[in-house]
Amino acid sequence: MHLSGNVPLATGILAALVAPASAFWRMPCSNPLVVERADPVVSPGAVSGHVHTIMGGSGFGFTMDYAQARASACSTCKVAQDMSNYWVPTLYYHAQNGSFISVDQVGGATIYYEQRRSDDEKLIAFPPGFRMLAGNPFLRNFTGDTASEAISFACIDFANPGPETNGFPTKNCPQGLRAQVFFPSCWDGVNLDSPDHKSHMSYPSVYNNGVCPPSHPKRFISLFYEVTWKVNDFKDMWTDGKWPFVLSSGDPTGFGYHGDFVNGWDVDVLQNAIDSCNSNDGTLESCPVLERLPSDGLQDCQIPPSIDEQVFGVLPALPGCNPIQNGPGNATPKSGCGAPTTFGPYKTYSSDLTASKGWEYIGCGYDSNSQRTLKGATFRDSAMTNEKCVDFCDGKGFSFAGMEFANECYCDNSLAADRAPKPGVLGNCDKKCAGDATEYCGGGGRMSLYHKCSGSGKCENVRFGVTGNTTTTAQSTVVSQSGVSTTRTTASSSTSSSTVKTSSQPSKSASSIATTRATPTGSSSNVTLPDGWKDAGCYIDPINPRALGIWAYYGKPVTSSGCAKECDSRGYKFAGTENGGQCFCGDALKGAGVADNTDCDMPCDGDADEICGGSARLSVFTKGDLSIRLARRRRH
């Protein structure tokens, strides 16, 4: 476990003697919400460079803001008033034949909230819209600074314990590899985010304690993640005694481990907990203002992946373009390997029987061996499919059909409200049907539920998805004793991200803009640019930090034309589009390298006839003849 503060002297007088700086609580997250290449902090609106295992609220999306997080229907983490999202890179075993195998987690994660501060500091809650990144995915050596010290690994071996390390250990860990990241707790008091997602924050004088610098005078409660991986499953598969595991970013060292956080707390509740929960036993029970969710609900909270690629099992390569990069120099982003660069439609866990059978999927419900949810009729079949169960129930005059545990079918004419699917919750109906591996037939204590459509009403399957892609989402289902009524809402594909304040962003009003048709040099085509702007070509974006530091969200699907117009209206001299759907502005290209124009090959989300960069590649546009010279002079 992670120790916080001093060991108590006597449990009987613990509450009276414990110092505020030693108080903490520990929040379990039972399982991942989703595992895929998504990262709305570093890659908003786009496919991330590498796979993350993501915990927390179901409002998570490729683009998300505070309101979306707070609107989550469920969370994989235990505290009801917290709909934040927490994510880290995924771990893979690298086989001798070059393939990769996903490593299972032990549960999801343990999130610590620790009251670390000096005597004259007041701890404050994360404000609405706040987000941050800890660690550097491109790092391949220990640099000795507080950010590197904040990354650590515990090789859990009860028989032969050893010290924690900042990089991967070199021996097997029989009880698991615990990967740990401690986040900075000192805030500049102004910005909810920053171009590198770090500089609005700072570590105190010691990475996990100490005094905040004058530049970052506000002190948040400290955040610490633990995620444990079952590396012992591969104990007999090491080659030449060498550590065989890599992070999803292609990191075999562990120094590139990192974590992201997007705030979804009820801020008043979090502040109340900070002010009133002074126990150092770490239990949620000792903090009564924090409401605890039932464990079953945590396990049912999932969202379907929206990227058409395999992330589990045996893989020929790491998802994305992530070759192994050993270091000691920093890794460089790669592209052009043929990995998916777009997302949607989301994966479905139901069969569409609306046209063929006149039955609609209403979601994943609950069942019990001692008291069945559907009691009218039942049968088992080693060749069970959704169609076979629906035909059976329909033939006997029933209006509800439920498949469970791959080969069981149940029928009835009513569905109790407490057994019905929960609105917006995907559930654990993930067992493939015994008769068709392309279909899903419930799970353990979970039923894939179908309802016979009435002649006058709509016949439509419940839908789930990740907000921020091009797929409509969120159909809620309300079930009564006598039948089903549905209320459908559609999430906009242009969900906005939270407004980010940056001290470097000028406050300039938009004006009318004259436009001319650009003659592309190869980085983009069919782009309409503001007067005086030119196409500068394709550049490598170092990502951390960004070559162009201002993320420019303007409320519409991104085009290079729209991005250049937006940057011009804000008074910037550079505009760049990336990943098909990201827009950045700035007054200089920082750390960028010239790329082949063919590397910028992604059609824009807002207009497929325009090009919007590529993976870690910027389609760059500049205002005036001096722009390129300025960019190259400042490149470092």
pLDDT in tens, 64-78: 999 999 999 999 999
pLDDT of residue 307: 94
pLDDT of residue 137: 98
Tell me the mean pLDDT in the region 550-570: 85
Q: How many CB atoms lie within 10 A of CB 527?
A: 27
Strand order in the sheet with 151-155: 24-29, 109-114, 222-229, 177-182, 151-155
Whether the Cβ atoms of residue 576 and residue 619 lie closer than 8 Å to each other: yes
pLDDT of residue 625: 60
pLDDT of residue 544: 61
No. of H helices and E strands in the chain?
8, 37
| % of the chain beyond a pLDDT of 70 | 84
pLDDT of residue 605: 79
- Residue 3: is its pLDDT beyond 90? no
pLDDT of residue 519: 35
Q: Is the dihedral of CA 619, 622, 625, 626 positive or negative?
A: negative
- Residue 505: is its pLDDT beyond 50? no
The C-alpha atoms of residue 193 and residue 627 are separated, in whole angstroms, by 27
pLDDT higher at 501 or 125: 125
The 10 Å CB-count burial string (b at 16+, else e) for 532-571 is ebbbbbbbbbbbbbbbbbbbbbbeebbbbbbbbbbbbbbb
pLDDT of residue 346: 79
pLDDT higher at 76 or 504: 76
Q: Is 228 in a helix, a strand, or coil?
A: strand
pLDDT of residue 497: 33
Question: Both tokens of residue 308?
Answer: 């058409």
Digit-coded pLDDT (tens) for 519-528: 333 345 589 9
pLDDT of residue 340: 95
- Residue 554: is its pLDDT beyond 50? yes
Strand pairing partners for 610? none
Query: Closest Cα to residue 448, out of 489, 389, 368?
Result: 389
pLDDT higher at 558 or 477: 558
- Residue 13: is its pLDDT beyond 80? no
pLDDT of residue 617: 86
Average pLDDT, the chain: 85
Which residues, in sequence order, are CB contacts of 586 under 8 Å at separation 6+?
547, 548, 549, 550, 572, 573, 574, 576
Which segments within 166-221 are labelled E, that is strand?
A: 177-182, 186-187, 201-202, 218-220
Low-confidence winner among 38-47, 295-304, 428-437 (lowest mean pLDDT): 295-304
Band of pLDDT at residue 552, cut at 50, 70 and 90: confident
pLDDT of residue 555: 65
The C-alpha atoms of residue 431 and residue 441 are separated, in whole angstroms, by 6
pLDDT of residue 525: 58
> On the CB side of 134, how many CA atoms lie within 13 Å of its CA?
29
The C-alpha atoms of residue 227 and residue 495 are separated, in whole angstroms, by 30
| C-alpha pair distances (Å), 385 with each of 351, 362, 460 | 9, 17, 19
Q: Side chain identity at 417, as an amino acid letter?
A: A
Band of pLDDT at residue 468, cut at 50, 70 and 90: low
Band of pLDDT at residue 493, cut at 50, 70 and 90: very low
pLDDT of residue 558: 85
- Residue 627: is its pLDDT beyond 50? no
- Residue 189: is its pLDDT beyond 90? yes
pLDDT of residue 21: 53
pTM more than 0.75 = no
- Residue 394: is its pLDDT beyond 50? yes
Band of pLDDT at residue 517, cut at 50, 70 and 90: very low
Band of pLDDT at residue 533, cut at 50, 70 and 90: very high
Band of pLDDT at residue 467, cut at 50, 70 and 90: low
Digit-coded pLDDT (tens) for 92-124: 999 999 999 999 999 899 999 999 988 888 999
Tell me the mean pLDDT in the region 40-58: 97
pLDDT higher at 555 or 266: 266
pLDDT of residue 602: 84
Tell me the mean pLDDT in the region 310-330: 97
Band of pLDDT at residue 295, cut at 50, 70 and 90: confident
- Residue 41: is its pLDDT beyond 70? yes
- Residue 629: is its pLDDT beyond 60? no
pLDDT of residue 447: 97
